[in-house]
Amino acid sequence: MAHCRLLFVGDRSNLQKIFDDAPDSSSESAAEMTIGADWVDDYDWISEGEKKTGRTTDNFTKESNPELYQDVINGYWYDCYDVRDPNHYGSFDCINCPDYECYEGANNSIGSKDYDKDWNEKEKRNKVRAIEALKSLSDDTLFHFADSHW
Query: What confidence tens digit (pLDDT) does each residue in 37-62 have?
Result: 877 875 444 444 444 445 688 999 99
Burial zone of 119 (CB within 10 Å; 0-12 exposed, 13-18 middle, 19+ buried): middle
Phi and psi for 11 in degrees, rounded to 5? -70, 145
- pLDDT value at residue 114: 66
At 70 the pLDDT is 96
Q: Which of 4-8, 37-41, 87-91, 98-102 has the lowest mean pLDDT?
A: 98-102
Strands (DSSP E) contained in 13-122 are 39-40, 79-82, 90-91
Q: Give the pLDDT mean for 85-103.
A: 77
Q: What average pLDDT is seen over the chain?
A: 79
pLDDT at residue 108, as a whole number: 47
Q: Which residue has the higher pLDDT, 112 or 69?
A: 69
The whole-number pLDDT of residue 4 equals 85
Name the pLDDT band for 109 (thresholds 50, 70, 90): low
| Percent of the chain topping pLDDT 70 | 73
- At 93, the pLDDT band (50, 70, 90 cuts) reads confident
pLDDT at 16: 87
In the sheet that 90-91 helps form, which strands lie side by side, from edge to edge?
A: 39-40, 143-149, 3-9, 79-82, 90-91
pLDDT at 46: 41
